[in-house]
Amino acid sequence: MSATKVEASSHSPSEVNLSRVTRLWVPLAASWALMAIEMPLLAVVIGRLPDERLHLAAYGGIAFPIALVVEAPIIMLLAASTALCRDWQSTCYVRGFMRYAALFLTVLHALIAFTPVYDWVALDLLAANPQVAESGRLGLQILLPWTAAIAYRRFMQGLLIRADRSRVVGLGTVVRLVANATVLIGLAVFSDLPGIAVGSCAISAGVLVEAAYIGWAVRPTLARLRVAAPNSGPHLNASRFAQFYLPLALTPLITLLLQPLGSAAMNRLPNPIDCLAVWPAVHGLVFLTRSMGFAYNEVVVALAEHPGAKAVLRQFRNRLALGTTLVLFVFASTPLAQVWFQGVNDLSPFLAALAGAATAIAVPMPGLQAMQSYFTGLLVSARKTRGVTEAVLLFFVVAAALLTACVTHGELKDPGLLFAVSSFTLASLAQTAWLAWRVRREGV
C-alpha cells in the first residue's frame, strides 16, 4: 500500500494507458496467484492422507488462522520499507523495528503454541472439537518460524520494489512455492506424519527458503543504500514512523481477526468439522480469484497521481472486476466445481457439494476486491489512509454482527460454512461501499 515503483516502461513517465497498466499489473498478479496456489495445494495433498477431515479442519480452522493473527502487525512492512527506506538511516530504522517486532511476535506465537494458553484459545475462544484442537496444536507449533521469516522477507521485498527490482519478488514467490510443494509431496509420500504436520512443515519450509533467497538477492540493493546520499528531508524517528505505520498495521490485524472469528462461529453452528474441513479448499479457490484484485492496489498507488490516469485505472478496474467475478461464477455454476472439489481436492461427494454451495455464495467477492483495491489505492496515493482503516473496521463489525446473529439464532439447520461465507460477502459489500463514499468525500 505504497507508491511502489514498478518496472520501467517505454512510455513517458506521465503517460498512462491500458497497455501500461496491464504491464505493471501482470507481474504483481502472477506473484499473488502463486501465493494463492498454496492453500489449494495443501488441501489437495492433506485430503489424500488419513483422517483428512480432522487435519484439514485443524489447519484451516485453528493453526493457520491463529498464525495469521499473530503475524498481522508485520504484514505492512512491505509498504513501510517501500515508502520509507530512502537512505541508509531510514533503512536501519525500519530494519530495527522489523527485528524487534519479529522477536516479540515469535515469543507470542510460542506462548500460545507451547503453553496452556493454547487450550484457552482453541477450546474456550474458538470452541473447537477436542480432537481438532489437539491436531491444531501440533500444526501451530511447527509454524513457529512463520512470523519472523515473513517479517524479514517483506521488509527486504520493499527494498527490492523501491529499487525497481520487483521481478526478484516474483522469483522469490516461485522459490517459495517449489520448496513448499517439494516438502509437502515428499513428506506425504515418504513419511508417516499426520496431515497437519505435513502441511505445516511445508508452509514453514516455504517461507524460510523464500526469506533466504530474498536475503541473498537484496545484497546489491543494500550495498547501494549504504553509500547513497542521505535524504534531504527530516530523519525518520519513532513519531513519524508510528504516524505512518500504525494505521496500516491495524488494517490487516482487523481483517485477520475474522479468520478465528469465522472458525469460532462455524464451531457453534451445524456440521462444524465438515465445515472446517471444507473451508481451506473454498478459501483457497476464492482467494485465488481475489488475488488478481489484491495485485491491483499497488498499480493504482503507483499511477494515480499521473494526469489522466484515473479514467484509465477505472476502466481497467471494471474489466478486472467483471473478469474475475465471471471466472468464479463459471466454477460455481458448472460441473467444474465438482471436478475441482471432488476430483482435484479429493473431497467426498457431500463435502464437495458443500464446497460448491459456499463458492456460489462467494461469487461477488473477486469483483468487490478489485473495487476495493481501486478505491484504497486512490486514498493511499492521496495520503488519506484513515478511510481505509474505517472501511476495514466496518467490514469487521458487519461480519461479526452477522456471525453472532447466526450463532445466537439457535434454529439454523444448514451447515455453518454457508452462513459464514454469506456474512463475509455482505461485509465485503459494506466495506466497498464505504471506500467509494470516502473517495467521493475526499475528492480523490
The C-alpha atoms of residue 421 and residue 407 are separated, in whole angstroms, by 14
**CA angle, 279 as apex, 274 and 282 as ends, to 5°?**
125
Tell me the CA distances in angstroms from 13 to 18, 161, 225, one per residue in order.
14, 17, 24
Sign of CA dihedral 126, 129, 130, 135: negative
Which segments of 115-162 does DSSP mark as H helices, in order?
117-119, 130-142, 146-162
| pLDDT value of residue 116 | 94
Does residue 96 contact residue 171 with C-beta atoms inside 8 Å?
Answer: no
**DSSP string covering 232-284, please?**
SSPPP-HHHHHHHHHHHHHHHHHHHTHHHHHHHHHHTSSSHHHHHHHHHHHHH
Residue 298 and residue 221 share a domain: no
| pLDDT value of residue 141 | 97
**CA angle, 386 as apex, 385 and 387 as ends, to 5°?**
90
| pLDDT value of residue 101 | 95
Best CA proximity match to 195, nearest among 61, 58, 62, 67: 58
Residue 186 and residue 219 share a domain: yes
| pLDDT value of residue 149 | 96
Best CA proximity match to 136, nearest among 212, 64, 87: 64
Distance of alpha carbon 223 from the chain centroid? 31
Residue 227 and residue 264 share a domain: no
Residue 418 and residue 368 share a domain: yes
Q: Show which of 241, 272, 298 is a domain's final residue.
A: 241
Residue 147 and residue 118 share a domain: yes
| pLDDT value of residue 7 | 39
The C-alpha atoms of residue 66 and residue 255 are separated, in whole angstroms, by 13
The C-alpha atoms of residue 171 and residue 85 are separated, in whole angstroms, by 22
The C-alpha atoms of residue 257 and residue 281 are separated, in whole angstroms, by 20
User: Domain for residue 10, yes or no?
Assistant: no
The DSSP call for residue 231 is P
Total of domains in the chain: 2
Residue 307 and residue 441 share a domain: yes
Residue 226 and residue 269 share a domain: no
Burial of 321: CB neighbours in 10 Å, binned 0-12, 13-18, 19+ = buried
Residue 158 and residue 230 share a domain: yes
Does residue 153 contact residue 214 with C-beta atoms inside 8 Å?
Answer: yes
Best CA proximity match to 210, nearest among 174, 163, 167: 174
User: Domain for residue 41, yes or no?
Assistant: no
Residue 150 and residue 268 share a domain: no
pLDDT tens-digit series, residues 121-146: 999 888 888 999 999 999 999 999 99
Domain that holds residue 267: 257-444
Q: Show which of 174, 206, 241 is a domain's final residue.
A: 241
Q: Tens-of-pLDDT digits for all 444 residues of the chain? A: 444 444 333 344 457 889 888 877 887 787 778 777 777 788 888 888 888 888 988 888 889 889 988 998 898 787 778 777 878 998 999 999 999 999 999 999 999 999 999 999 999 888 888 999 999 999 999 999 999 999 999 899 888 877 767 778 888 888 998 999 999 999 999 999 999 999 999 999 999 999 999 999 999 999 998 987 787 667 888 887 887 788 778 777 777 776 677 878 888 888 888 888 888 788 888 988 998 998 788 778 777 877 888 999 999 999 999 999 999 999 999 999 888 888 888 788 889 999 999 999 999 999 999 999 999 888 877 777 788 889 989 998 999 899 888 888 767 778 888 999 999 999 999 999 999 999 999 988
User: Domain for residue 35, yes or no?
Assistant: no
The C-alpha atoms of residue 268 and residue 216 are separated, in whole angstroms, by 46
Residue 195 and residue 98 share a domain: yes
